[in-house]
Amino acid sequence: MKSVRKVRCLKGELRVPSDKSISHRAVILPALAEGESYVQEWLWSKDTLATLNIIRALGVKVRYKNGTLRIKGSNFELSEPQRVLDAKNSGTTARLMLGVLATQRFFAVLTGDQSLRRRPMLRVVEPLRRMRAHLDGREGGDKLPIAIRGGALKGISLFNKKASAQVKSCVLLAGLRAEGITEVYEPYLSRDHTERLLSAMGVKLISYDGKDGRVVKLEGGQTLKATEILCPADPSSAAFFTAGAVLLEGSEILLKDVLVNPTRDGFFRKLREMGAHVQYENLREISGEPVADVYVKYSGGLKAVDVHPEEVPSLIDEIPILAIVMAHAQGVSTVRGAGELRVKESDRIKAIVENLRRMGAKVEEYEDGFSIEGGTPLRGALIKTYGDHRIAMSFTIAGLTAEGETQIDEPECVAVSYPNFFQDLERLTC
């Protein structure tokens, strides 16, 4: 249990830990390449360690020296793991690694923690079966543990109607060793880190706006070349401090080296639409990704906003913290088309609605989102995190703005993406 109380403001400079999505890919793709890759500023967290441990269990040599991960690529010659592979709490690990395992002729079993074993996997199992990999698991293959034997794949064309980067990445990774063309369509562009890194590693990718949305295509049999990657700071982690600074009078912070890829920075854009002072400084490109220092100041008189379905992919992981900002804005804010939140690390719609109500906010729940009538001052409450890191961090920030004491029930779950969250928050608190 962690106790949180109202603070005056947030002040200072902070480089939040590196991007989780990029850090997963920064070990998975180099593990498949020819030659040795070097990764700097890699994120050490529970989720990304799950990926690293699986990569090692598949025979890939990874060393860590002087702040650099050195990954000896296998050029797709992985070895059969002797134990069950454990993706722990990480959906990205499970789904991307199933795509990798599908390229291999050996037998492997993948599992995860209690939360991950409840999350849907058919979205990757079905396309991989269509590519001719053999997969079996609980509930017809929808739930982990899943057993897989791959090899001799055939390219497919997939319409990815939920615009999921995990599904897209899984199928593209399998497509690298499939016969012919593999293509993925999505109604809106989901995060494109896999495509950016594949291109940087010499893979020829074709992506364009098709009539049903975005298309990305590749031809099987291409080799990945080793590369150097510098991981930028995670906008999803930066979002918590950004919200805190916007809401607490007198705050002023600078968040360094933040990834501002347009498929990821929807939260910052939404805050600006609400009238918040969030500014990108020193915009530059690092390892093929746009990066900026984000300057944030207290912003009074925030206006309510709506999040529309097509905007959801660019801020999907920030919706819990956006909900906290919405609770402080004047008017009714809504989020729709975000049903995916129900199958994240927890049912995030339920967790947001339930915990905000406990804090006294006026919230309505929908199957695919919620609406919040902002402006009622929040009061401290007991927060049920459901073991979900983003719920824990979002409601810690809510607690900083509330009267009385807020208690967070499983604060240690922040280690999934941000092991030093509470220490960093303490440092910025004035």
Give me 279's structure tokens.
């500014």
Q: Select from 21, 103, 299, 314 the one that contacts ligand S3P (CB under 6 A).
A: 21
Q: Select from 93, 166, 371, 396 the one that contacts ligand S3P (CB under 6 A).
A: 166
CA–CA distance, 150 with 105 (Å, rounded to integer) = 5
Q: Select from 46, 143, 177, 191 the one that contacts ligand S3P (CB under 6 A).
A: 191
Identified catalytic residue from 257, 317, 388, 424: 317
* 177 within 8 A of 76, measured Cβ to Cβ: yes
Query: CA geometry: angle at 390 spanning 357 and 185, to 5°?
Result: 110
CA-closest candidate to residue 380, choices 407, 353, 351: 407
* For residue 145, cis peptide bond before it (omega within 30 degrees of 0): yes
Please report, as a single letter, which amino acid is at residue 3: S
> Is 355 an interacting residue with respect to ligand S3P (CB under 6 A)?
no
Question: Three-class SS of residue 165?
Answer: helix
> Is 160 an interacting residue with respect to ligand S3P (CB under 6 A)?
no
> Considering CB under 6 A, how many residues would be counted as binding ligand S3P?
11
Give me 102's structure tokens.
């599908």
CA–CA distance, 238 with 397 (Å, rounded to integer) = 12
> Is 316 an interacting residue with respect to ligand S3P (CB under 6 A)?
yes
Q: Whose Cβ is closer to ligand S3P: residue 186's or residue 424's?
A: 186
> Is 90 an interacting residue with respect to ligand S3P (CB under 6 A)?
no
Q: Active site includes 317?
A: yes
Q: Whose Cβ is closer to ligand S3P: residue 26's or residue 274's?
A: 26
88 assigned to a ligand binding site: no
Q: Select from 9, 98, 165, 425 the one that contacts ligand S3P (CB under 6 A).
A: 165
CA-closest candidate to residue 186, choices 84, 263, 134, 130: 263
91 assigned to a ligand binding site: yes
390 assigned to a ligand binding site: yes
Q: Whose Cβ is closer to ligand S3P: residue 154's or residue 342's?
A: 342
164 assigned to a ligand binding site: yes
Burial 388-399 (b: 16+ CB within 10 A, else e): bbbbbbbbbbbb
Give me 22's structure tokens.
């990029």
Q: Which residues pair with 10 in a beta bridge?
A: 429
- Measured from the CB of residue 46, what is the shortest distance to ligand S3P in angstroms? 13
| Residue reference for tokens 């008189």 | 301
Q: Select from 115, 164, 385, 396 the one that contacts ligand S3P (CB under 6 A).
A: 164
> Is 92 an interacting residue with respect to ligand S3P (CB under 6 A)?
yes
Binding-site residues for 3-phosphoshikimate sit at 20-21, 25, 164, 166, 317, 344
Binding-site residues sit at 20-21, 25, 91, 119, 164, 166, 317, 344, 348, 390
- Residues known to be catalytic: 317
